[in-house]
Structure 1
Amino acid sequence: MQKIHRSLVSTLLFISVSFSVSAKDVTVMISGGFKAALEKLAPQFEAKSGNKIILISGPSMGKTPQAIPARLARGENADVVIMVGDALNNLEKDNWLQPGSRVELADSSIGMVVKQGEPKPVIKTDADLRNTLLQAQSIAYSDSASGRYVSSHLFKKLGIEDKVESKAHMIERIPVASEVAKGHYAIGFQQVSELLPVPGVAFIGELPEDVQYVTRFAGAVTAKAKNGQEGKALLNFLSSAEAQNTLRATGLRSVTTKLPVKQHDTVQ
């Protein structure tokens, strides 16, 4: 009986040691729009694979040192990057990514928030949205793809570019909703998936469809990945059918078709 017991203990120890030796840390540089979804899905991937996900947050673009391209340029390590599609294209052109490793993950629309407790404006139509923006004391938008669209295209489409220029402000690096929650700005625009996790704000809704801008999120394995195989397995999991309910619950849209040209990778 003691021999059987010792044999069982030895087997369990061998399995435990083998598992710990084979487990890998998968380092992911990720922009805010997909972060909430990955945080919810990470435990499921880690339980299935035995690997651990290490998150490094940063904008997909912009001039801040925390931006993903800046992090890679100064030598920070990552196995995977998950970010806005056009910014990922730029990394691919500059040979930061393993060829053929890109995986389309989700689409993200732009929404609007106000501080919790404040009156909720209506933005169901272009006229509603125009009126809301004209009446707002201040407007905040991000320094990433959604913000570039708001500042460079949305105001112009609504015919109010000159009227809101002095009260519209770009927020670098930090979530726009967090600034609205503090009362620094009356309304804020960002991708829905970045607005929903922030406490202290009320989500008003998405932009009207005819002035909406949908951002594609995608991921790829970096050219200098230490655990590239594990990174690709993570991307495949995030794009799988079993991940879709969680993606949608965090404000993202499942990738069903290629985005129209006017919405896909066009904001510079």
Structure 2
Amino acid sequence: MSDAVRVLSTLALKGAVQALAGQYQAAGGARIDADFAPTLALLDRLRAGEAADVVILTREGLDEVAREGRVAAESCVDLARSFVGVAVKAGAPHPDITTEAALRKALLAARAVAYSRLGASGILFAKLIERLGIASEINARAVIIPQGFTAERLVSGEADLAIQQISELKQVPHIEVVGPIPRELQTPAVFSAGRMCASQNVGEADRLLRYLASSEVAPALRESGLEP
């Protein structure tokens, strides 16, 4: 049995998992060996046979791999909710994004908007700009990244606004989170965890799942931009 528990996690939980790893190990838990990527990319990797003990995905993604028999359904637990937000480079003016009309105006006024192609936030944003009737204008000058942190494009100067889960925006230094997209325009993503059926480290995997679902981790989740 390994002295580490292998975790494949969506990027939205990267800050929280990294913050909690040392604390968990100090309390007697196994070392957390974690890799982070968007849910859709992780689903492809799991279906290609990549091994792990614990996976953290959107609830929809976790349900899919549970139905496929890759994750033990009885082990699945909800961890946190996350909202999509807007960020600017540190020191830049914060646009008004508090209403649908204000958000539309801010997006159209930006030189370029960065968003992700694969993540839950990018999928939501692509649908949102269609709904707002500004998809062609935004996409004509958007910086659409395949995966990773959109706020890095603020630091590089490629974009004026970055769109992503607030917990992902907060992973990038030298940026400022303006706030969430108006909540009536989005459905929060629920991130959940489960144990892989093929795990060779069942005891440690289940212990980690209990820890991640406990009230003890709530402060770290909040600090990283998530709602427990």
TM-score w.r.t. the length of structure 1 is 0.80
The structure whose residues are more often strand, as a share, is 2
Equivalent AA in structure 1 for residue 10 of structure 2: S
Equivalent AA in structure 1 for residue 23 of structure 2: Q
| Residue 185 of structure 2: aligned partner | 211
Q: Whose RCO is larger (CA < 8 A, sep 6+)?
A: 2
Q: Aligned-residue CA RMSD in angstroms? A: 1.6
Tell me, which stretches of 5 or more residues in structure 2 are unaligned? none
Q: What pairs with 1:124-203 in structure 2 (closer than 5 Å)?
A: 124-142=98-116, 143-152=118-127, 154-203=128-177
Q: Flag the structure with larger Rg.
A: 1
Deviations 1:210-251 (A, max 9, x none): 113310000000111111221121111111111111111110
Q: What pairs with 1:233-244 in structure 2 (closer than 5 Å)?
A: 233-244=207-218
| Residue 25 of structure 2: aligned partner | 46
Native 8 Å contact 1:85 1:216 kept in 2: yes
Residues 25-34 or 167-176, more deviating: 167-176
Task: Determine the C-alpha separation between the residues in 1 that align with 2:92 and 2:73.
Answer: 49
Residue from 56, 72, 79 that aligns with 2:35: 56
Task: Determine the C-alpha separation between the residues in 1 that align with 2:203 and 2:153.
Answer: 39
Native 8 Å contact 2:29 2:204 kept in 1: no
Residue from 2, 25, 50 that aligns with 1:76: 50
Residues 163-172 or 241-250, more deviating: 163-172
Deviations 1:127-151 (A, max 9, x none): 2111101111111112211110100
Deviation for aligned residue 1:106: 0.3
TM-score w.r.t. the length of structure 2 is 0.93
Q: Which runs of 4+ in 1 moved over 3 A?
A: none
Deviation for aligned residue 1:117: 2.8
Deviations 1:92-113 (A, max 9, x none): 1222112311110000001111
Equivalent AA in structure 1 for residue 139 of structure 2: E
| Residue 29 of structure 1: aligned partner | 8
Residue from 89, 93, 98 that aligns with 2:72: 98
Residues 117-126 or 213-222, more deviating: 117-126
- Closer/same/farther in 2, CA of residues 50 and 233 from structure 1, 3 Å limit: closer
Tell me, which stretches of 5 or more residues in structure 1 are unaligned? 1-21, 62-66, 255-268
Native 8 Å contact 1:32 1:59 kept in 2: yes
Q: What pairs with 1:106-125 in structure 2 (closer than 5 Å)?
A: 106-125=80-99
Q: Give the secondary-structure state (helix, strand or coil) at the position aligned to 1:49.
A: coil
